[in-house]
């Protein structure tokens, strides 16, 4: 009789989203709902496990752990592989094993010694083959069959300079699951970016509360007022009550030069506030072009100026030896949102050629590990030594850049608000907060046992959905 997959079993989900604009508050703290996520979502979804520059050489490995499952991702002679991190003898982790409660990111190189169990000394090579059993004569040979002793493989695929793992052998591929957004991001040079720094913190909030802070820009006016004040025309055109005018790139009350200065000030604030989001080297190039000759029409002038800036950034960074994309071309042919979400827990934020990335992992119903990277390009041979583990900071540390620091000021108190008497649901904008509803209902699809094909089709709809509308995911 064939073994029934957990996802095929019926499940009661009393916190299911019935009205797409109303999200039950208890989904953010209920222990039973968290258990369903751990059992039905995470084991079947593609998870960003590590950046590839963390494992550059043959034998390099890093431990990735989430919701009680530990995986070793290792660079082998035949490419990147992943194994379940437990000794086939008595279950002790053979690498790392500290979990992610404190942001631990165990790593090392197994090329010479392999993986050695700290309990009884059994060994495995980087390909997962058992190479040594201490006191082999003490065991019946039937319990030491080669295939049974091999480390259990975990599916792994590489994309965009990262390794992604999936515990479900039958899940659609990474590309089938995430869709064309991968091509659009890769056209922006994803695979060639390298880490400048890597920070992490433990937030006293459900992992979904932390993620939803980055699924819309509607919060900019109040949470990031410096951005709103620097370029009000941009944000008011998108979220405010302004209609008509000259478009989001132009402040109708300013001349062309003043509009350019407004844009440069905004870039400065984005760069200082999030580093990789707009890199200092890109801002410096833009500032050199503050006085270029432009058309008199303000809208045409600003569009022309941004085009000149993008071309200059491409040319000057390439002249330095950086393999950056042709910005004017990719922005036209492969447009992306300012924030792209890769379900279930990875974000990429982009402006010119550099990026920031976020990864969020649950530590319990009301705690999560939040990691952020600053990513940029370097001339070949001048890449810095990659960070192998994050710099852990308190969530209220002043060492975080300003933008995440401002977001972190809201997330913990929002978690407390979820418990307020009478607060039963989040009420979402159908036009600008749709991504929150869409990914929440995709989670319900996993919990409810929707087919892998339907889940993948719904997942693909999330690409480019930042600031977007509520969608019909067709999960039923």
Q: What is the rounded CA–CA span in Å between residue 73 and residue 62?
A: 5
Q: What is the rounded CA–CA span in Å between residue 274 and residue 220?
A: 14
Q: What is the rounded CA–CA span in Å between residue 448 and residue 18?
A: 13
CB-based contacts of 300, cutoff 8 Å, min separation 6 = none
pLDDT digits (tens, 9 = 90+) for 131-153: 999 999 999 999 999 999 999 99
- Average pLDDT for 244-259: 73
Number of separate domains in the chain: 3
Q: Is the pLDDT of residue 17 over 90?
A: yes
| Residue 244 binned pLDDT confidence (cut-offs 50, 70, 90) | very low
Are 377 and 441 in the same domain? yes
Give, for 371, the enclosing helix (H) or strand (E): strand 367-376
CB-based contacts of 381, cutoff 8 Å, min separation 6 = none
- Map residue 402 onto helix, strand or coil: helix
Question: Is the overall model pTM greater than 0.75, yes or no?
Answer: yes
Q: Check which CATH number belongs to the domain holding 393 and give it.
A: 3.90.380.10
pLDDT for res 238: 83
Are 227 and 353 in the same domain? yes
- Average pLDDT for 257-261: 92
Are 214 and 276 in the same domain? no
Specify if 61 maps to a domain: yes
- The structure tokens listed for 201 are 């913190």
Specify if 6 maps to a domain: no
| Cβ neighbours, 10 Å, residue 290 | 13
Q: What is the rounded CA–CA span in Å between residue 319 and residue 313?
A: 10
| Residue 260 binned pLDDT confidence (cut-offs 50, 70, 90) | very high
pLDDT for res 145: 95
pLDDT for res 474: 93
Kindly report the CA angle at 181 between 207 and 465, in degrees rounded to 5? 55
pLDDT for res 245: 47
pLDDT for res 97: 78
Q: Is the pLDDT of residue 1 over 70?
A: no
pLDDT digits (tens, 9 = 90+) for 404-418: 999 999 999 999 999
Are 252 and 314 in the same domain? yes
Are 332 and 453 in the same domain? yes
Residue of 319, 306, 326, 317 lying closest to 280 (CA atoms): 317
Are 392 and 466 in the same domain? yes
- The structure tokens listed for 277 are 């989001």
pLDDT digits (tens, 9 = 90+) for 85-124: 999 999 999 998 766 555 567 999 999 999 999 999 999 9
Residue pair 373/276 in contact by the 8 Å Cβ criterion: yes
pLDDT digits (tens, 9 = 90+) for 372-381: 999 999 999 9
pLDDT for res 54: 95
| Residue 232 binned pLDDT confidence (cut-offs 50, 70, 90) | confident
- Average pLDDT for 149-175: 97
Are 344 and 418 in the same domain? yes
- Map residue 393 onto helix, strand or coil: coil
Q: Which domain holds residue 427?
A: 16-40+176-242+324-476
376-to-53, 399, 458 alpha-carbon distances in Å = 13, 20, 31
Specify if 1 maps to a domain: no
Are 344 and 470 in the same domain? yes
Residue pair 96/44 in contact by the 8 Å Cβ criterion: no
* One-character DSSP codes across 299-322: HHHHHHHHHHHHHHHHHHHHHTT-
HSE of 274, CA atoms in CB hemisphere, 13 A = 25
Specify if 170 maps to a domain: no
The conformational region for residue 364 under phi > 0 = left, psi -120 to 50 = alpha, else beta, is left
Comparing 297 with 202, which gets the higher pLDDT?
Answer: 202
pLDDT for res 246: 47
Are 102 and 129 in the same domain? yes
- Average pLDDT for 363-374: 97
Specify if 7 maps to a domain: no
pLDDT for res 396: 95
Residue pair 18/349 in contact by the 8 Å Cβ criterion: no
Q: Go through 397-422 and write b for each residue having 16 or more CB atoms within 10 A of its CB, e for each that does not.
A: eeebbbbbebbbebbbebbeebeeee
Are 97 and 218 in the same domain? no
First-to-final CA distance of the chain: 28
pLDDT for res 247: 56
Q: Is the pLDDT of residue 243 over 70?
A: no
pLDDT for res 2: 42
- Average pLDDT for 255-273: 92
Q: Check which CATH number belongs to the domain holding 107 and give it.
A: 2.102.10.10
Q: What is the rounded CA–CA span in Å between residue 331 and residue 318?
A: 17
């Amino acid at each position: 009789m064939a073994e029934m997959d957990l996802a095929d079993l019926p499940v009661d989900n009393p916190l299911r989203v019935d009205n797409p604009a109303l999200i039950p508050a208890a989904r953010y703290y209920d222990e039973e709902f968290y258990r369903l996520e751990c059992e039905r979502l995470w084991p079947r979804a593609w998870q960003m496990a590590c950046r590839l520059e963390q494992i550059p050489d043959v034998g390099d490995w890093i431990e990735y752990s989430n919701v009680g499952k530990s995986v070793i991702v290792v660079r082998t002679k035949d490419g990147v592989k992943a194994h379940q991190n437990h000794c086939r003898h008595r279950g002790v982790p053979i690498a790392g094993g500290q979990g992610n409660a404190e942001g631990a990111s165990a790593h090392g190189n197994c090329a010479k010694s392999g993986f050695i169990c700290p309990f009884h000394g059994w060994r495995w090579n980087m390909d997962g083959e058992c190479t040594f059993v201490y006191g082999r004569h003490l065991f019946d040979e039937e319990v030491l069959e080669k295939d049974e002793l091999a480390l259990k493989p975990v599916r792994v695929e590489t994309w965009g300079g990262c390794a992604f793992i999936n515990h479900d052998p039958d899940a659609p591929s990474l590309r089938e699951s995430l869709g064309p957004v991968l091509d659009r991001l890769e056209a922006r040079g994803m695979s060639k970016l390298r880490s400048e720094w890597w920070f992490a913190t433990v937030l006293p909030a459900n992992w979904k509360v932390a993620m939803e802070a980055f699924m819309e820009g509607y919060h900019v006016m109040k949470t990031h007022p410096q951005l709103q004040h620097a370029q009000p025309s941009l944000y008011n055109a998108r979220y405010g009550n302004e209609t008509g005018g000259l478009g989001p790139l132009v402040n109708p009350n300013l001349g062309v030069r003043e509009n350019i200065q407004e844009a440069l000030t905004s870039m400065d604030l984005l760069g200082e506030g999030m580093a990789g989001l707009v890199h200092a080297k890109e801002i410096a190039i833009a500032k050199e072009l503050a006085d270029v000759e432009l058309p008199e029409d303000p809208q045409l002038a600003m569009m022309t100026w941004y085009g000149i800036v993008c071309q200059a950034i491409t040319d000057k960074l390439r002249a330095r030896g950086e393999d950056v994309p042709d910005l004017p071309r990719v922005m036209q042919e492969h447009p992306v949102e300012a924030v792209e979400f890769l379900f279930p827990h990875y974000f990429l934020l982009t402006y010119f050629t550099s990026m920031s990335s976020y990864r969020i992992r649950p530590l319990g119903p009301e705690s999560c590990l939040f990691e952020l990277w600053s990513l940029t390009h370097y001339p070949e041979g001048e890449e810095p030594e990659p960070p192998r583990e994050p710099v852990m900071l308190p969530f209220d540390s002043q060492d975080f850049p300003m933008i995440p620091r401002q977001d972190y000021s809201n997330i913990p108190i929002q978690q407390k608000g979820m418990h307020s008497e009478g607060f039963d649901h989040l009420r979402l904008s159908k036009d600008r907060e749709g991504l929150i509803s869409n990914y929440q209902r995709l989670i319900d699809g996993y919990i409810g046992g929707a087919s892998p094909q339907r889940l993948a089709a719904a997942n693909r709809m999330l690409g480019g959905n930042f600031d977007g509308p509520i969608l019909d995911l067709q999960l039923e």
